[in-house]
Amino acid sequence: MTGLLFAALAPKAALAKPRKKPFVINPVFQPQYVPFDSSYAPGTVVIDPRGRFLYLVEDEFTARRYGVGVGRAGRAFHGAAKIGRKEKWPRWVPTKNMIRRQPEKYARYADGVAGGSHNPLGARALYLYRNGRDTYYRIHGTTEPWSIGRAVSNGCIRMVNEHVMDLYARVPVGARVVVI
């Protein structure tokens, strides 16, 4: 009888969709306060692309650390900038260089993508400016949280959406950003 019961249930079980495991970020990339011996002023954002961390300096000995995804080799911002503007659920437009490098992937988005849950910039974006001009580099959320801790982007700094929302609330326009 057990064999008949199993046989009767087998087709239904075969049709059932397997459950997708929810993504869980490595705890090291969760926001946390860490010792940070710094000569940077409180409120400065310091990004360490090699370590895959962004630090918000709290005082001369402490920073709030976030895990980030960074640009692929040759596509990363270096040096100092300021946050020139901030946007909630920002509109995304691929750069001309992105379209030129990979037209099959980006040309269809040349007119941009409205803000929302499927937008590559995620929930928030902090726009990096240098000498009063937009650098086209951003600190932003992502629809691909598994990319945190990797060098995969076109140069921007990616964060988990909840983490960039936290940073967005803590950092004002005009804050200094240093990529080491």
CA nearest neighbour of 178 among 54, 29, 1: 54
CA angle 125, 46, 74 (to 5 degrees): 75
Q: Which amino acid is at 144?
A: E
Residue in 78, 118, 156, 163 annotated catalytic: 156
CB 93 within 8 A of CB 156: no
Catalytic annotation present for 163? no
Catalytic annotation present for 78? no
**Residue 160's CB: how many other CB atoms inside 10 A?**
26
**Residue 95's CB: how many other CB atoms inside 10 A?**
13
CA–CA distance, 85 with 126 (Å, rounded to integer): 6
* β pairing state of 133-140 and 124-130: antiparallel
What stretches of 68-153 show up as alpha helix (H) in DSSP?
96-101, 103-106
Residue in 78, 118, 140, 163 annotated catalytic: 140
CA–CA distance, 178 with 23 (Å, rounded to integer): 30
Question: Catalytic positions, please?
Answer: 140, 156
